[in-house]
């Protein structure tokens, strides 16, 4: 008798879970502010300023799909693109002066576990996931002004461009938000999102352009110069962390 009651109980749970199952697709756009930054310096009006920046600052776009196994537990898989904001630092104050501009981009995937607070017109949720940047690029540009315009007849302007690529950026993500159901199948949502991630490139390309009033020359080194992390001299680790917000839509393809 007890065995039969237990079997009936399991069947009731399975039926309840099956009614809550749903498949949905969606997308969002968002902006992230600096988090998990590194420190550099900048000379503004001949005063030294410490500058903190994260290459994860900037806009991101996501497209993906999700599936709710029950009304409370589900999973999502998103593909996204991060367009990092360019960080500008002023070099100086003594010649040669110049500027440094650095930014990053990343094409990434983001699988997540979803926890929802049931059903209704407004459905709060939370997500935790993994950030895997599959295609990453960091552009680091140095523009150096002429060193001495008094004693040198044709002072040179030097531009150094470094492009870092290769490797996978990794980290974790979380988000807290709410679905606002506009109909049985369509919802808009907003969420507070956190990304803790970093990127260690495997190789880089350097291009140097020297320009004077009479001539210009450029030299591009090997396109893939390996970075030797064992030496400790060329081992950049760039932060891609950010905290910000996303707004988007969900469309439920099936609701049982």
Cβ atoms of 116 and 68 closer than 8 Å: yes
The answer to whether position 177 is within a domain reads: yes
202 is in which domain, residue-wise? 30-255
In a domain, 14, yes or no: no
pLDDT of 215: 59
Is there a domain that residue 216 lies in?
Answer: yes
User: What's the rounded Cα separation, in Å, for the pair 173 and 190?
Assistant: 16
Instruction: Evaluate whether residue 164 is within a structural domain.
Output: yes
214 located within any domain:
yes
pLDDT at 20: 47
| pLDDT, position 197 | 94
Quick one: pLDDT at residue 90?
Answer: 76
Place of tokens 């002004």: 145
Residue 72 lies in a domain: yes
160 part of a folded domain: yes
The structure's pTM equals 0.78
Q: Which two tokens stand for residue 154?
A: 């044709």
The CATH number of residue 109's host domain is 2.40.160
Q: Enumerate helices (H) and strands (E) in the chain, giving the number of each.
A: 1, 16
The total of structural domains in the chain comes to 1
- Residue 69 pLDDT: 92
Phi, psi of 244 (to 5 degrees): -165, -145
Confidence at residue 159, expressed as pLDDT on a 0 to 100 scale: 82
Report pLDDT for 137: 94
Instruction: Give how far Cα 14 sits from Cα of 11, 55, 238, Å.
Output: 5, 46, 47
pLDDT value at residue 127:
97
- What's the pLDDT at 14? 44
Q: Can you tell me the distance from the alpha carbon of 175 to that of 29, in angstroms, rounded to the nearest whole number?
A: 14
Which segments of the chain does DSSP mark as H helices, in order? 2-20
Which stretches of 182-241 are assigned E, i.e. beta strand? 186-199, 203-211, 216-220, 225-226, 238-239
CA distances (Å), origin 109, targets 37, 60, 62, 204: 22, 12, 9, 23
Mean pLDDT by 10 residues, the chain (256 residues): 46 43 91 77 57 86 95 95 88 72 94 91 96 94 70 67 91 96 94 95 84 61 63 71 96 77
Structural domain contains residue 21? no
């Amino acid at each position: 008798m007890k065995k039969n009651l237990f079997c009936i109980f399991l069947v009731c749970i399975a039926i309840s879970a099956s009614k809550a199952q749903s498949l949905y697709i969606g997308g969002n756009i968002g902006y992230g502010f600096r988090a998990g930054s590194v420190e550099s310096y900048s000379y503004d009006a001949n005063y030294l300023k410490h500058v903190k920046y994260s290459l994860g600052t900037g806009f991101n776009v996501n497209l993906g799909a999700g599936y709710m196994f029950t009304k409370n537990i589900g999973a999502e898989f998103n593909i996204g693109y991060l367009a990092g904001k360019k960080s500008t630092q002023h070099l100086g104050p003594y010649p040669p002066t110049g500027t440094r501009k650095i930014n990053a981009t990343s094409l990434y995937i983001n699988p997540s576990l979803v926890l929802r607070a049931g059903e209704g017109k407004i459905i709060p949720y939370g997500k935790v996931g993994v950030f895997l940047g599959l295609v990453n690029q960091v552009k680091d540009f140095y523009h150096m002004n002429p060193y001495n315009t008094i004693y040198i007849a044709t002072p040179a302007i030097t531009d150094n461009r470094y492009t870092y690529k290769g490797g996978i950026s990794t980290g974790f993500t979380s988000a807290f938000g709410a679905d606002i159901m506009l109909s049985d199948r369509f919802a808009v949502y907003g969420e507070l999102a956190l990304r803790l991630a970093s990127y260690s490139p495997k190789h880089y390309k350097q291009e140097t352009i020297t320009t004077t009033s009479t001539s210009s020359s450029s030299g591009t080194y090997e396109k893939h110069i390996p970075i030797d992390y064992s030496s400790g001299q060329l081992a950049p680790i760039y932060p891609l962390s950010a905290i910000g917000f996303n707004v988007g839509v969900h469309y439920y393809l099936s609701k049982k």
